[in-house]
Each structure stands twice: as C-alpha cells, then as structure tokens.
C-alpha cells in the first residue's frame, strides 16, 4: 500500500519543546516492568520500598503499548536480573546495604532477581507478544552488557519512547546511556514510576531541564493521539 497519504511522522507536545518523531525510526522501550519490582516479596520490596507506588504506571503503559502494537512500531521490553550462578552480578551489587533478602536468595516469587524465576517475569498486564524484543540486562542501564544497541541499530531506530521503572534508577540510567549514543528519548511521564514521589517529580524535571539535557518529557495523553494518527500500521504501509 502506498504510504503517501499516511503520516509517517508525528509531533508530540512535549517539554521542553515539541518533538517530531519519525515512526519507522521510533521504538517503544519498556523498562523492567517485572514482578520483582512491582509486587510484594520481590527485589524492590526487599530493599525496603513501598512497591504499591509503581502500580499507577501500569495502566498508562498498557494503553501506550496497545497503540504502539496497532501502529506496528518496534516494541522492546527489558528485564533486570542475573544468571542463576550469579556470575554476572558484581559482589558490590549483591553485598550492598542491608536488604531483608539478597539477590539470589529464595523468596516468595523464587530467587530474588534471578532469570527464569517467577519474580523475574514481566507483569501479566504487559506480557510481551510475538515479534517484540526482550532484553535481559544485568545492570541498571539497558545498553550495558546487552545487545540493545545492535538491535536498535539494525532496525534504524533513532528515537525512543521510554516507559518503565524506576524513574530515577533504570529509566534514568538507560535514557542517559541512550542520549549519549545519539538517540532522542521521549520519557512518558505517567508511564514511569518511582518508589519515591519526590524522585518521580524531580527525576522527570532533570530530564527536560537545560533545554532537554538528556531528553523530552510528555504524558501518555500527548503520546497516544500522535501515535494513533498513524492509522495504517507500518507493516501495511
Ligand atoms: N531499586 C530501584 O529503584 N530500581 C532498580 O533497582 N532497578 C530498576 O530501576 N529497574
């Protein structure tokens, strides 16, 4: 089908300024929406966090994911976790602090933050479907020790819509890594979550400060209509 009548780019009303997105070069990146971070008994709770703080991001992410699937843009999910033998987990990470359970210890959702355990799974509401990419990462940033860079490069991706948890940890680290690699990152404000309300607010401000020092910020109410305007899925264009 000829694409001439269909908008292959869209402008999102973002801060600090509107951003033009070329949809074939845009991916939705959903960071670490795992039971280990969102549900009681997982890694996040063992660190002393109130995991209910992250719940409000789930519905908006599901809405953006649904529109992204209809539009046919690339969807990438990440999961933070470690190999069962912990060979990819630095001792500094395992031994830090005084959590109730440490990485690799048995918990109610299996071993804490270990690949293949129930707690490592992405929550049911956001389960990846066929054709979507899942990147397993040992660190906070999604580019470190993964093939995410190659995956995006192979598909000609230049822009990232960033969702997931937590705002000031894996979302920030990944967005900063992506920005340094030349990607334009739009962080979707109601689709990211922090255990700390102050960090949520300030974390978003930090991204868009100084003229957008490492990205743009817009809520799903601005992203969804722009993406939905791509009324013919990319696969049919
Ligand atoms: N603890 C915390 O806020 N976050 C993490 O450990 N990982 C992610 O952000 N995914």
Tell whether ligand 1 has an atom less than 6 A from the beta carbon of residue 54.
no
Ligand 1 centroid to Cα of residue 235, in Å, is 34
In this structure, the number of other CB atoms found within 10 A of the CB of residue 67 comes to: 18
The catalytic position among 36, 121, 136, 137 is 137
Q: Is the pTM of this model over 0.85?
A: yes
The catalytic position among 32, 121, 136, 190 is 32
Ligand 1 atom with minimal separation from the 173 CA: 9
Kindly indicate the confidence band of residue 232, based on its pLDDT and cuts at 50, 70 and 90.
low
Mean pLDDT of 200-228: 97
Tokens of 179: 């920005």
Radius of gyration of the chain (CA): 18
Q: Is the pLDDT of residue 193 over 50?
A: yes
Q: Kindly give the interhelix angle for 172-180 and 197-212, rounded to the nearest 10 degrees.
A: 20
Angle at 20 between CA 175 and CA 211, to 5 degrees: 55
Write down the pLDDT at residue 4. 47
SS3 content of the chain, % helix, strand, coil (to 5): 40, 25, 40
Helix (H, G, I), strand (E, B) or coil at 194: coil
**Is 191 an annotated catalytic residue?**
no
pLDDT tens-digit map of 165-177: 999 999 999 999 9
Q: Answer yes or no: are the C-beta atoms of 78 and 30 closer than 8 Å.
A: yes
Give the containing element (helix H, strand E) for 94. Answer: helix 91-94
Tell whether ligand 1 has an atom less than 6 A from the beta carbon of residue 140.
yes
Tell whether ligand 1 has an atom less than 6 A from the beta carbon of residue 45.
no
Nearest CA to ligand 1 atom 8: 170
The catalytic position among 136, 140, 163, 170 is 170
């Amino acid at each position: 089908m000829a694409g001439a009548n269909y908008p292959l780019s869209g402008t999102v009303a973002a801060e600090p300024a509107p951003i033009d997105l070329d949809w074939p070069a845009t991916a939705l990146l959903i960071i670490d929406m795992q039971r280990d971070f969102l549900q009681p008994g997982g890694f996040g709770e063992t660190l002393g966090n109130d995991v209910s703080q992250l719940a409000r991001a789930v519905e908006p992410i599901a809405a953006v994911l649904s529109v992204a699937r209809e539009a046919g843009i690339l969807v990438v999910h990440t999961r933070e976790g470690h190999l069962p033998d912990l060979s990819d987990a630095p001792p500094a990470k395992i031994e830090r602090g005084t959590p109730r359970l440490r990485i690799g210890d048995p918990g109610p959702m299996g071993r804490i933050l270990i690949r293949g355990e129930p707690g490592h799974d992405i929550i049911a509401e956001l389960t990846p479907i066929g054709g979507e990419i899942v990147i397993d990462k040992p660190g906070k940033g999604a580019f470190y020790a993964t093939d995410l860079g190659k995956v995006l490069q192979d598909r000609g991706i230049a822009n990232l819509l960033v969702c997931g948890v937590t705002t000031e940890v894996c979302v920030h680290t990944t967005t900063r890594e992506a920005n340094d690699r030349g990607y334009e990152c739009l962080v979707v404000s109601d689709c990211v979550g922090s255990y700390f309300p102050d960090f949520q607010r300030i974390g978003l401000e930090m991204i868009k400060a100084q003229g957008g020092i490492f990205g743009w910020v817009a809520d799903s109410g601005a992203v969804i209509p722009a993406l939905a305007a791509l009324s013919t899925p990319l696969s049919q264009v």
